[in-house]
Amino acid sequence: MLKFSYEQIVEKIIKEKGISKEEIDGKVNEKVKQLSDLISKEGAAHIVANQLGVKLFDTLDPEKTMKIKEIPRGLSGISVLGKIMEVRDVVSFNKNGRSGKVVNFTIADETGFIRAVVWDEPIINEIEKGMFKADDIIKIKNGYSRDNNGFVEVHLGSSSQLIVNPKGESIGEVKMSRDKLGRKKLDEVKEGDMVEVYGTVVQLFEPRFFHVCSKCEKKANEENGEFVCKEHGKVVAKKRGVLNFFFDDGSSNIRAVCFGDTIKGLIDYSEDDLENFSSALFDVWRKEILGKQVLVEGRINKNDMFNRLEFIARRIKEADPSVLIEEV
Spans of the chain below 70 pLDDT: 1-4, 35-39, 56-63, 94-98, 149-150, 175-182, 216-217, 320-328
Q: What is the pLDDT of residue 163?
A: 93
The CATH classification of domain 186-327, taken from the options 2.60.120.10, 2.40.50.140, 3.40.50.720, 3.40.50.2000: 2.40.50.140
Q: What is the pLDDT of residue 64?
A: 76
Domain 65-164 architecture: Beta Barrel (2.40)
Q: What is the pLDDT of residue 321?
A: 58
Q: What is the pLDDT of residue 8?
A: 80
Q: What is the pLDDT of residue 328?
A: 45
Q: What is the pLDDT of residue 139?
A: 95
Q: What is the pLDDT of residue 182?
A: 65
Spell out the domain ranges in the chain: 6-58, 65-164, 186-327
- Cβ atoms of residues 293 and 199 within 8 Å: yes
